[in-house]
C-alpha cells in the first residue's frame, strides 16, 4: 500500500470501446499491486480547483506500470477528460494503489465467481489476468458473469475470448440493450433466474467479487444471499451513481 500523491506519466492510451479508454501509466517506485486494488487520480485546474476520482487497476503487471480503464459519463467532471484529452507524455497525480478488502489472493484455492456491470469489470480483469499469470500455480476455477449493453460495449473482449479457452475460466455475457447479431438472444437486464443459472453452485463455496454501479451491486448481492450464498463470501465494490438496478 502506497500513501500520498505521486506523479505518474501516461505512457500509452488504447481506445477500449466507443466510450472507454485504457490509460497505461508509469508510476516510479511502484513495485506491483494486488488484483482488485484501485488508485485515486487528482486533477488540478489552473485556479487550484481539484477533483479526485477512484479508478480500479485493470492490469496485473509486476513492475512500476499499471493500466486504468475509464468509462466516459456524459455529464461527468473527470471521466470525459481522461477519455478524450489525456495524451501520452502527460502527467497525472495518483495516490495508491489502495484497498485491502476487494482483492483476490492468488494463494487462495477457492473457486471464484466474478460478476460485473459495465465498467465494473475493470478490477475483475486484474484478477483474471493475475490468475492467468499465476497458472499453473493457481488452479482455482474462475467464472465471469458480465452485464454489458451490447457486444461492442464489452471491455477486453478479444483477450477474454482467448483466456476463456482455458478450462479454468468461463465467461457469460448478459446483453441489456443489444445482443450479438444472429445469436437469437433476446436482450434483457440481469435477473435473479439468469444470475443463479450462471454462477457457481452453493456447494462449491465460491468466493464472489461483484463490481459495478451501486444499485447493480446491491441488487445482485441481495439475490445471492436470498439464494443461500453466505454473505461473508461476497465482496462488493460500488462505483457510485444512482443509476438503475440490473
Ligand atoms: C473504488 C472505485 C473504483 C472505480 N473504478 C472505476 C473504473 O475502473 N473505471 C471507471 O470508469 N470508473 C470507476 N469508478 C468510478 C469513478 O470513480 C467516477 O465516479 C466516474 O469516472 C465518474 O466520474 P466523473 O467525474 O466523470 O462524474 P461525476 O461528475 O462525479 O458524476 C456525473 C454524474 O454521473 C453519476 N455517476 C457517478 N459515478 C457513476 C457510475 N459509476 N455509474 C453511473 N453514474 C455515475 C453521478 O451521480 C452524476 O450524476 C470507480 C469508483 C470507485 C469508488
User: Could you give the CA distance from residue 90 to residue 29 in angstroms, rounded to a whole number?
Assistant: 18
Residue 36 to residue 237: CA distance in whole angstroms: 9
pLDDT at position 62: 85
Question: Which pLDDT does position 243 carry in this prediction?
Answer: 59
Probe target for ligand 1 pocket from 18, 39, 75, 79, with the most ligand atoms within 8 Å of CB: 79
Query: Does ligand 1 have an atom closer than 6 angstroms to the CB of 241?
Result: yes
Count of beta carbons in the 10 Å neighbourhood of residue 78:
17
Q: Per residue in 23-70, pLDDT tens?
A: 999 999 998 899 999 999 999 989 999 999 999 999 998 899 999 999
CA dihedral defined by 173, 175, 181, 182, rounded to 10 degrees? 70
* Predicted confidence (pLDDT) per residue in 142-167, tens digit: 999 999 999 999 999 999 999 999 99
Q: CB-based contacts of 161: which residues, under 8 Å, 6+ apart?
A: 171
pLDDT, tens digit (0-9, with 9 covering 90-100), for 60-91: 988 999 999 999 999 999 999 999 999 999 99
Q: What is the mean pLDDT of the chain?
A: 94
Nearest partner of 94 among 131, 47, 39, 55, judged by Cα: 39
Would you state the cell numbers that stand for residue 192, as one nine-digit string? Answer: 435473479
Q: Report angle CA 141, 147, 149 to the nearest 5 degrees.
A: 150
Identify the pLDDT of residue 225.
98
- Distance (angstroms) between ligand 1 centre and the Cα of 239 equals 6
Determine contact, residues 37/30, Cβ cutoff 8 Å: no
Centroid of ligand 1 to alpha carbon of 141 (angstroms): 30
Question: Quick one: pLDDT at residue 1?
Answer: 56
Residue closest by Cα to atom 49 of ligand 1: 241
**Cα(204) to centroid(ligand 1), Å:** 33
Ligand 1 lined by 122 (C-beta under 6 Å)? yes
pTM for this model (two decimals): 0.96
pLDDT at site 197: 96
Amino acid at each position: 500500500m502506497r500513501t500520498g500523491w505521486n506523479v505518474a506519466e501516461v505512457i500509452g492510451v488504447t481506445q477500449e470501446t466507443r466510450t472507454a479508454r485504457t490509460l497505461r501509466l508509469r508510476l516510479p517506485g511502484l513495485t506491483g499491486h494486488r488484483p482488485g486494488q484501485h488508485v485515486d487520480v487528482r486533477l488540478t485546474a489552473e485556479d487550484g480547483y481539484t477533483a479526485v476520482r477512484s479508478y480500479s487497476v485493470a492490469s496485473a503487471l509486476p513492475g512500476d506500470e499499471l493500466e486504468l480503464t475509464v468509462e466516459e459519463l456524459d455529464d461527468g467532471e473527470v471521466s470525459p477528460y481522461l477519455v478524450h484529452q489525456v495524451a501520452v507524455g502527460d502527467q497525472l497525480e495518483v495516490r495508491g494503489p489502495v484497498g485491502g478488502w476487494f482483492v483476490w489472493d492468488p494463494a487462495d484455492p477457492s473457486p471464484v465467481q466474478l460478476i460485473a456491470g459495465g465498467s465494473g469489470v475493470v478490477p475483475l480483469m486484474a484478477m483474471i489476468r493475475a490468475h492467468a499469470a499465476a497458472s499453473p500455480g493457481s488452479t482455482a476455477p474462475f467464472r465471469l458473469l458480465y452485464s454489458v449493453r451490447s457486444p461492442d460495449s464489452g471491455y477486453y473482449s478479444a483477450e477474454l475470448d482467448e483466456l476463456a479457452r482455458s478450462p479454468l475460466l468461463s465467461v457469460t455475457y448478459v446483453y441489456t440493450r443489444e445482443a450479438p447479431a444472429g445469436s437469437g438472444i433476446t436482450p434483457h437486464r440481469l435477473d435473479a433466474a439468469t444470475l443463479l443459472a450462471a454462477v457457481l453452485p452453493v456447494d462449491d463455496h465460491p468466493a464472489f467479487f461483484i463490481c459495478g454501479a451501486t444499485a447493480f451491486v446491491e441488487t445482485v448481492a441481495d439475490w445471492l444471499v436470498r439464494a443461500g450464498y453466505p454473505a461473508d463470501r461476497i465482496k462488493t465494490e460500488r462505483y457510485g451513481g444512482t443509476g438503475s438496478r440490473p
